Amino acid sequence: MDNLSVEHLTGIKDLTRQDIELIFKTADSFKEVINRPIKKVPSLRDITIANLFFENSTRTKLSFELAEKRLSADVINFSASGSSVKKGETLIDTVNNILSMKVDMVVMRHPNPGAAKFLSERISAKVVNAGDGTHEHPTQALLDAFSIRERLGSVEGKKVVIVGDILHSRVALSNIYCLQKLGAEVMVCGPTTLIPKYIHELGVKVEHNLRAALEWCDVANMLRIQLERQDIKYFPSLREYSMQFGLNKEILDSLDKEIIVMHPGPINRGVEITSDVADSKQSIILQQVENGVAVRMAVIYLLAAKIERH
Amino acid sequence: MIPSIFVSMEKQVILNSRHFELTLNRLCYQLIERHHDFSDTVLIGLQPRGVNVLARLKSQLEAILGTPVTCGNLDITFYRDDFRRRERPIIPSATNIDFVIEGKQVVLIDDVLFTGRTIRSGLDALLAFGRPKKVELLALIDRRFNRDLPIQADYVGKSVDTLSTERVSVEWKEIEGEDKVVLFTPEANG
């Protein structure tokens, strides 16, 4: 019970409900730590962590780095731009080179689905998936569920709608697994072209009308349109998308209840969410970012507990 | 709850509920002797079991003094020196210190002082809340001669001579149903 059932965090799919609850309980303590005058604990002072980012990231990279530093780990950073990846080095070679420098844990973001799993089967260091293509982004889902638990007291029995580009979203898939494991009901909402055809087989509801989805839910998680992953046109124009699926103050106020609005960032203001909604008191977007550090500290701490001492 | 390995052990009550109360009372008056009205003093209970001692002392002190005493709970899990040396990680408990200890006299409170390693971690953890003027240590039970580190208590409920293979358990009316301290000794040919 007090140990994770996994050796790496490659996806929420592999976690048990007990694992998620253990991570949350540990994150509660870290949340208290990061609100102290001195926001740092010495637990991981003999651990070295490499952050390998083969794809762009601002928030996730900063959040992981801060989490690692607040646990007193030594941190090295690597990003694909300006590295030997451009010179044709393979993923395994790049990572093995970094591991020869005695690294205990690897946090990796990679554009290819399954990259974290692939790596975890081939290296001795612990692997944390910080997003692998359109597959999973487990720490984002954990911090989303943690934020819902913080705001509503629990996740069990809550209704959560994920709105937007479900097809290209690793956040959506990880969120679906995580929320369902914790006993929440999940719905996805978006244009037909951006909803994967067989997604109902995961046990989620599908809705193409934003108002109907909002009337059903307690929490709305608004996703960004991932234009960088869309090789063809999935909808006529951003303006049309925004008119049908964008969350604005008008529609939010017309509901007969106060729902919670989330967004994993980065926000495209005026597309999936308007500024007044993003900055309203129903939005917990900035709490999500704060909780991200605590949740990542918990994940790293619990995985580091499993690293053998040399 | 007593782990199963201790079931085959011999039990001996070293502090019954009558003496338990007397001891806590004496500790209160010893604290008042040095800290007067507690205007410059904070009491900090170490999680998980030191907070029970603190809760009892706090209510007794406040009854005697008639004024509130500033108290907090401190969890030392992330400061332990045995991370990755144990089979399983320890689940942290809550830290509630909503005041700054800068310049204050701090009394750290724990139920059993054994190797001194918890207190070492506690001293480390305390620094995250400021630089105290002075730190003292109160232990309900002092298992003297078992120390791994040069740490001694300023206030002691009862000193006991124990072997490191023995185990001391402080039980509470609120949790276990009765105030008492029990010494478990492994049976000689068990």
ipTM of this predicted structure: 0.76
Report the pLDDT value the prediction gives residue A78, as an integer from 0 to 100.
85
Identify whether residues A78 and A107 lie together within a single domain.
yes
Q: Are A67 and A304 in contact (CB under 8 A)?
A: no
Report the distance separating Cα A123 and Cα A69, nearest Å.
23
Q: Is the link from the previous residue into A266 a cis peptide, with omega within 30 of 0?
A: yes
Q: Are B88 and A3 in contact (CB under 8 A)?
A: yes
Mean pLDDT calculated for residue range B11-37: 93
Report the pLDDT value the prediction gives residue B142, as an integer from 0 to 100.
95
Identify whether residues A92 and A175 lie together within a single domain.
no
Identify whether residues A279 and A293 lie together within a single domain.
no
The domain that holds B123 is classified in CATH as: 3.40.50.2020
Contacts of A61 (CB under 8 A, 6+ apart): A51, A53, A77, A109, A130
Could you tell me the CA-to-CA distances from A221 to A8, A112, A162, A237, B126 in Å, in that order?
27, 24, 5, 22, 39
The domain that holds A128 is classified in CATH as: 3.40.50.1370
| Known catalytic membership, residue A281 | no
Provide the domain limits for residue A179.
138-285
Number of domains in chain B: 1
Provide the domain limits for residue B111.
21-161
Contact B94 A307 (CB under 8 A): no
Identify whether residues A154 and A174 lie together within a single domain.
yes
Identify whether residues A178 and A213 lie together within a single domain.
yes
Q: What is the pTM of this model?
A: 0.87
Identify whether residues A211 and A197 lie together within a single domain.
yes
Query: Tens of pLDDT along B42-92?
Result: 999 998 899 999 999 999 999 999 999 999 999 999 998 888 887 777 788
Identify whether residues A116 and A243 lie together within a single domain.
no
CA B40 to mean position of chain CA atoms: 21
Chain A residues with beta carbon closer than 8 angstroms to that of B47 = none
Report the pLDDT value the prediction gives residue B5, as an integer from 0 to 100.
53
Identify whether residues A22 and A111 lie together within a single domain.
yes
Mean pLDDT calculated for residue range A264-271: 90
Q: What is the distance in angstroms between the Cα of B78 and the nearest Cα belonging to chain A?
A: 5
Helix (H) or strand (E) holding B109: strand B105-113
Report the pLDDT value the prediction gives residue A1, as an integer from 0 to 100.
44
Contact B84 A304 (CB under 8 A): yes
Number of domains in chain A: 2
Chain B residues with beta carbon closer than 8 angstroms to that of A36 = 128-129
Contacts of B29 (CB under 8 A, 6+ apart): B64
Residue whose token pair is 């597959």 = A135
In a domain, B6, yes or no: no
The token duo for B45 is 């209970």
With an 8 Å Cβ cutoff, the interface of chain A facing chain B consists of 2-3, 22, 25-26, 28-29, 32-33, 36-44, 71, 301-302, 304-305, 307-309
Identify whether residues A118 and A232 lie together within a single domain.
no
Of B84, B124, B125, the CB nearest to A309: B84
In a domain, B116, yes or no: yes
